[in-house]
Amino acid sequence: MSITLGLVLEQTLNGLQYGVMLFLMAAGLTLVFGIMNLVNLAHGSLYMVGAYLATALTERMGSFVLGVALALPATLLVGVVVEVVALRTLYERDHLDQVLATFGLILFFNELVAMIWGRAAIFTSVPSFLGGHFRVLPGLPYPTYRAAIIVVGLVVAALLWLLVTRTRLGMRIRAGASNRTMISALGVDIRLLYTLVFGLGAALAGLAGAMAGPVYSVQPGMGEGILIQVFVVIVIGGIGSIRGAVVGALVVGMADTLGRAFLKPVLATMISPPAADMAGPALASMSIYLLMAAVLFFRPQGLFPLRGRG
Amino acid sequence: MPVSRRTLVLVVGGVLLALVPPVAALTSQPFYLDLVRRMMIFAIAAVSLDLILGYGGMVSFGHAAYLGIGAYAVGIPAFHGVENGMIQWGLAIVASALVALVIGAISLRTSGVAFIMITLAFAQMLYYLGISLETYGGDNGLRLAARSRFGGPIDLRQPAVFYYLVLALLVLLLALGSRLVGSRFGMVIRAARSNEARARAIGFSPFRYKLTAFTIAGAAGGLAGALLANQTEYLTPDFMHWTRSGEIMFMVILGGMGTLFGPVIGAVALLLLEDVLSALTEHWQIILGPILILVVLFAKRGLWGLLVGPEAADG
Amino acid sequence: MAEILLAVRGLSRRFGGLLASDAIDLDVACGETHAIIGPNGAGKTTLIGQLAGDLRPDSGSIRFADQDVTRLDAPLRARRGLARSFQVTSIFRDFTALDNVALAVQAHAGRSFRFWRPARTEPTLREPARAALESVGLGARADVRAASLAHGEQRQLEIAMALATEPRLLLLDEPVAGMGPEESQRMIRFLATLKGRRTIVLVEHDMDAVFTLADRISVMVYGRIIATGAPAEIRGNEDVRRAYLGEDQA
């Protein structure tokens, strides 16, 4: 495989696209962890629920845009129900309890989804109006759908930034992230805030899942694979920090995508091709974990830790 | 001399376990021998996790990685024609210990959620490594041509012999574990869990002790993996999947964290539950999930606490 | 002996915009009982944290027994003979009082990489632990779970643990905090028995304790030591009066 500039650019854009998806998931997860001190392993399940709902609704409505648009509030609703029914008692518990209880939720959701839609992977096609390629640069066609994901992701990131920095809710979120006891002392309705934050996170995860359908396969358990990478993102970025989530998501997205694409050929120039054949993919999938290990080793609090936690 | 409830439970439990092979033979139900042996193997894994989780407070979400390493330590040599059990199992223990040493050295620099995540991530790393090993089956895994060979009377092809070997190893682990948690070393580990700042203030540097415990637990996990590979005669990278780590953790919690014997009951209970539920419905996990949530929320003391009452606390 | 056991020079520590420790100089002689007092927010806790090894100073040095310990962490300092008690009681709650002190004895004795013999049956650990408990008056409560001890008893336990490590310097952070008048008196009387035999650095708000026990007193305000001297001097010092004692303290 020859490495051309075009290929590098394409993979860079793919890395950006994957990074965007990771960010959507990471933003919700880091807020929930930062504000409610809740480790939520079932965040990936919300991603999965978003994907399935979008797929089902698209089929029902006959329109991709409608399907995604409806899947968002639906996932948000699912998230709110989960929070009220199962998660409220966990805020006071230690992390081990949270990990185990949300692990139980994963089993539940994976099986629920399998019961309704079966265990086989479902493939959704890219909607026609977003199909095909468009020319990013002369000689560089790029799938329109993936570009759309990037655009949506950037728009959402901008909206999120506005929300967090310019609105009252955002102010409470930021205050809550750095000092939980303080905001309850200030009379903010904690339970409502928590539910809102969780709902927001669920909606973001649902959006990621809904957009993921046409690109990745939709099947039970799809949440876990991306979830672990999302945790890597927030550990690298710094828990509770949205800025950290942005940087972490880009770093992880790029590292993973570029690693998978180029590690094998690059290695093949240094060591024998058969060895590169084996080492390349192995190293590629391990690369982001090595990255996380390195960050934790040198800077355990992450790249952009919230001030109170430094 | 009055016998404590704890001793009674332990003796009865031991006797029951020892009786399974003859009873299974008498009733012509070899399935039960197989099932209980499997339970004991996971009990070994759970006990090894309890050492660091229950006594050390180290929430390692990647313990299944050591089962995988142990399993491959049997599978890979067997693939190349090396079927000697001493070599395979020795390799399982040493390799797991070494990997635990490395993972622990990095992970123990963190604590809390970061520790949970980093141990999880390392296990995933090994899982992906396993999948990428095309020669050894990749994600399809590896079939074991034959069980580990030992000399003399220890013939693992005989179900009862294999069973008693596993039982012996479980008892040995429990005995060694009991001494360990009561020893000077064990006290440091438990003190560090109880109040790390205090432990440091009196002069303990917890890291080296935690790392040692982590390594020991990993080695024991490796042994469990070697046993598991022999049990199923088939091994896949799935042994190392993080959901497996979650399962083992649940066995510890269900049985009773920090009790050493509790996880044995936890392993039996969870596997029994899975067995019963999967007979009921194909979608048994939808029931298991909420059960696990309920256990965490309401029954954290664990089954050991229920059986043995106030003597359960080691304090 | 007038030899200096603890020498602090230019110790400074900042938290964001706040200068919690401002170029602190302090000398504590062997066998001296040195009290550090000051209003809330003066930076006493930060100072203790840096002396104990929990906090790294931004600049300055700490010499203990003629060795530079500035870069050493808390366990290392503890092993060199610097024992401390905490302002907010910090003990091993799930263990008995005897276990608590035995752990301190074990920490001092070293050799904790023993995997076989039950620590609870080792006389070399249990005997000194019992003795330490007796000396602070907790002998009868040795087998009580630490969490079940009364608040005052828990603070006594902290002292017992500190003593069990046979320290050269005792760093006591508000030893009588939260104690009723009788308990305080008992504790003060006990600490008085240590005077001269041990070197003590004592942070306290309770003026009774301070003036009974201290050979010298340092007064901290806004991160700086504004005065050091014998109790009588400090009582008469104008700056100190204004900054601290001037209010309704005894």
> Rounded distance, CA C67 to CA A104, Å?
54
Cβ-Cβ pairs closer than 8 A, A with B, add up to 122
> Rounded distance, CA C209 to CA B60, Å?
47
Of residues B87 and A37, more confidence is placed in B87
> Rounded distance, CA B165 to CA B173, Å?
12
B neighbour chains, 3+ CB pairs within 8 Å: A, C
B180 contact A CB<8A = no
The full set of domains in chain C, from first to last, is: 1-80+199-250 (3.40.50.300), 82-166 (3.40.50.300)
> Rounded distance, CA B255 to CA B261, Å?
8
How distant is the alpha carbon of residue A176 from its chain centre? Answer: 22
Q: Is A151 exposed, middle or buried (0-12, 13-18, 19+ CB in 10 A)?
A: exposed
What pLDDT does residue C94 have? 92
> Rounded distance, CA C47 to CA A83, Å?
44
Whether pTM exceeds 0.80: yes
Residue A1's pLDDT band, with cuts at 50, 70 and 90, is low
> Rounded distance, CA C213 to CA C198, Å?
12
B121 contact A CB<8A = yes
Bridge partners, residue C200, by sequence: C33, C170
Nearest to A284 by CA among A249, A304, A244, A254: A254
B109 contact A CB<8A = yes
Of residues C94 and B113, more confidence is placed in C94
Given a contact cutoff of 8 angstroms between Cβ atoms, the answer to whether C187 and C130 are in contact is no
Contacts of B89 (CB under 8 A, 6+ apart): B73, B74, B148, B223, B226
What pLDDT does residue A308 have? 47
Contacts of A295 (CB under 8 A, 6+ apart): A235, A236, A302, A303
pLDDT in tens, A85-133: 888 888 888 888 898 899 999 999 999 999 999 888 888 888 877 778 8
pLDDT above 70 as % of chain A: 94
Q: Nearest CB to B128: which of A282, A292, A293?
A: A282
Helix (H, G, I), strand (E, B) or coil at C28: strand
pLDDT in tens, B233-292: 999 999 999 889 999 999 999 999 999 999 999 999 999 998 898 888 888 888 888 988
Contacts of C189 (CB under 8 A, 6+ apart): none
Q: Nearest CB to B315: which of C91, C107, C145?
A: C145
Dihedrals phi, psi of B314, to nearest 5 degrees: -90, -20
Are residues A103 and B253, on separate chains, in Cβ contact within 8 Å?
Answer: no
Dihedrals phi, psi of B235, to nearest 5 degrees: -140, 140
> Rounded distance, CA C226 to CA C222, Å?
9
Residue A310's pLDDT band, with cuts at 50, 70 and 90, is very low
What pLDDT does residue B161 have? 93
Q: Please state the domain extents for chain A.
A: 5-309
Q: Residue range B86-110: average pLDDT?
A: 94
Helix (H, G, I), strand (E, B) or coil at C10: strand
How distant is the alpha carbon of residue B1 from its chain centre? Answer: 34
**Predicted confidence (pLDDT) at residue B104 exceeds the cutoff of 80:** yes
Are residues B249 and A293, on separate chains, in Cβ contact within 8 Å?
Answer: no
What pLDDT does residue B146 have? 87
Q: Residues 128..147 of B with a Cβ closer than 8 Å to A: which?
A: 128-129, 131-134
* Set of chain B residues whose Cβ sits within 8 Å of the Cβ of A297: 106, 109
What pLDDT does residue A201 have? 93
Bridge partners, residue C84, by sequence: C171
pLDDT above 70 as % of chain C: 96
Bridge partners, residue C220, by sequence: C225
Given a contact cutoff of 8 angstroms between Cβ atoms, the answer to whether A68 and A211 are in contact is yes
Contacts of B282 (CB under 8 A, 6+ apart): none
Instruction: Compute the mean pLDDT over every residue in chain A, rounded to the nearest whole number.
Output: 85
Contacts of A243 (CB under 8 A, 6+ apart): A237, A304
DSSP string, B72-125: HHHHHHHHTT--BHHHHHHHHHHHHHHHHHHHHHHHTTS-HHHHHHHHHHHHHH
What pLDDT does residue B288 have? 87
Helix (H, G, I), strand (E, B) or coil at C12: strand
What pLDDT does residue C219 have? 92
Contacts of A293 (CB under 8 A, 6+ apart): B106, B118, B121, B122
Residue B164's pLDDT band, with cuts at 50, 70 and 90, is very high
What pLDDT does residue A131 have? 79
What pLDDT does residue B281 have? 85
Token pair 């102010």 is found at: A171
Residue B110's pLDDT band, with cuts at 50, 70 and 90, is confident
Which tokens belong to A304? 């952009």
pLDDT in tens, A50-62: 999 999 998 888 8
Q: How distant is the Cα of B183 from the closest Cα of chain C, in angstroms?
A: 4
Residue C164's pLDDT band, with cuts at 50, 70 and 90, is very high
B3, B62, B191, B307, C55 from B178: Cα distances, Å: 19, 24, 16, 19, 37
- Supply the angle between the helices B112-132 and B242-255 in degrees, to the nearest 10: 130
C90 contact B CB<8A = yes
Q: Residues 55..84 of A with a Cβ closer than 8 Å to B: which?
A: none
Are residues B132 and A95, on separate chains, in Cβ contact within 8 Å?
Answer: no
Pairing of strands B142-143, C18-29: unpaired
The lowest-confidence range among A31-45, A259-273, B63-77, C234-248 is C234-248
Among B179, B180, B187, the strongest candidate for a mutation testing the C interface, having the largest count of C CBs within 10 A, is B187
* Set of chain B residues whose Cβ sits within 8 Å of the Cβ of A36: none
C neighbour chains, 3+ CB pairs within 8 Å: B
Is the dihedral angle over the CA atoms A29, A35, A39, A40 positive or is it negative? Answer: negative
Nearest residue in chain B measured CA to CA from C143 = B315
Token pair 């990997």 is found at: B99
Q: How distant is the Cα of A102 from the closest Cα of chain B, in angstroms?
A: 7
pLDDT in tens, C48-88: 999 999 999 999 999 999 899 999 999 999 999 999 999 99
Among C93, C115, C166, C169, the strongest candidate for a mutation testing the B interface, having the largest count of B CBs within 10 A, is C115
Q: Phi-psi category of C61—alpha, beta or left, where left has phi over 0 and alpha has psi -120 to 50?
A: beta
> Rounded distance, CA A208 to CA A199, Å?
14
B187 contact A CB<8A = no
Residue B307's pLDDT band, with cuts at 50, 70 and 90, is confident
pLDDT in tens, C186-218: 999 999 999 888 999 999 988 888 999 999 999
Pairing of strands C4-15, C18-29: antiparallel
What pLDDT does residue B1 have? 60
The CATH code for residues A5-309 is 1.10.3470
Are residues B253 and A286, on separate chains, in Cβ contact within 8 Å?
Answer: no
Q: Residue range B163-184: average pLDDT?
A: 96
Q: Residues 156..215 of B with a Cβ closer than 8 Å to C: which?
A: 179-180, 182-188, 190-191, 194-195, 197-205, 209, 212
Are residues B59 and A95, on separate chains, in Cβ contact within 8 Å?
Answer: yes
Is the dihedral angle over the CA atoms B195, B200, B203, B209 positive or is it negative? Answer: positive
**Predicted confidence (pLDDT) at residue A73 exceeds the cutoff of 70:** yes
A290, B82, B93, B130 from B99: Cα distances, Å: 14, 22, 10, 14
The ipTM assigned to this model is 0.91
Residue C2's pLDDT band, with cuts at 50, 70 and 90, is low
Are residues A106 and B289, on separate chains, in Cβ contact within 8 Å?
Answer: yes
pLDDT in tens, A155-199: 998 998 888 888 877 777 777 666 666 766 777 677 888 898 899
How distant is the alpha carbon of residue B310 from its chain centre? Answer: 25
What pLDDT does residue C99 have? 96
A106 contact B CB<8A = yes
B80 contact C CB<8A = no
> Rounded distance, CA B67 to CA B54, Å?
19
Helix (H, G, I), strand (E, B) or coil at B233: coil
DSSP string, chain A: ----HHHHHHHHHHHHHHHHHHHHHHHHHHHHHHHH----TTHHHHHHHHHHHHHHHHHHHS-HHHHHHHHHHHHHHHHHHHIIIIIGGGTTS-HHHHHHHHHHHHHHHHHHHHHHH-SSPB--PPPGGG-SEEEEETTEEEEHHHHHHHHHHHHHHHHHHHHHHHSHHHHHHHHHHH-HHHHHHTT--HHHHHHHHHHHHHHHHHHHHHHHTTTS-B-TTHHHHHHHHHHHHHHHH-TT-HHHHHHHHHHHHHHHHHHHHHHHHHHHHHS-HHHHHHHHHHHHHHHHHHHHHHHHHH-TT-SS--GGG-
Of residues A294 and B77, more confidence is placed in B77
pLDDT in tens, A121-159: 888 888 877 778 877 777 778 888 888 899 999 999 899
Contacts of B62 (CB under 8 A, 6+ apart): B103, B119, B120, B121, B122, B123, B124, B126, B242, B245
Are residues C114 and B185, on separate chains, in Cβ contact within 8 Å?
Answer: yes
Which tokens belong to C31? 């066998």
What pLDDT does residue C250 have? 45
Bridge partners, residue C203, by sequence: C36, C173
Bridge partners, residue B84, by sequence: B149
Nearest to A79 by CA among A237, A228, A207, A216: A207
Q: How distant is the Cα of C40 from the closest Cα of chain B, in angstroms?
A: 23
- Supply the angle between the helices B242-255 and A95-117 in degrees, to the nearest 10: 120
Q: Residues 101..130 of C with a Cβ closer than 8 Å to B: which?
A: 102-104, 106-108, 111-120, 122, 125
How distant is the alpha carbon of residue A172 from its chain centre? Answer: 23
C83 contact B CB<8A = yes
* Set of chain B residues whose Cβ sits within 8 Å of the Cβ of C160: none
Q: What is the largest CA-CA distance in chain A?
A: 66
Are residues B106 and A293, on separate chains, in Cβ contact within 8 Å?
Answer: yes
Which tokens belong to B52? 């660091």
Which tokens belong to B40? 């004991």
pLDDT in tens, B129-147: 888 888 888 888 899 988 9
Q: CB neighbours (10 Å) of residue B8?
A: 12
DSSP string, C168-237: SEEEEESTTTT--HHHHHHHHHHHHHHBTTBEEEEE-S-HHHHHHH-SEEEEEETTEEEEEE-HHHHHH-
Helix (H, G, I), strand (E, B) or coil at B261: coil
Task: Return the top range by mean pLDDT from A3-7, B20-24, B303-307, C33-37.
Answer: C33-37
DSSP E strands, B109-177: 142-143
Given a contact cutoff of 8 angstroms between Cβ atoms, the answer to whether B194 and C92 are in contact is yes
Q: Phi-psi category of C198—alpha, beta or left, where left has phi over 0 and alpha has psi -120 to 50?
A: beta
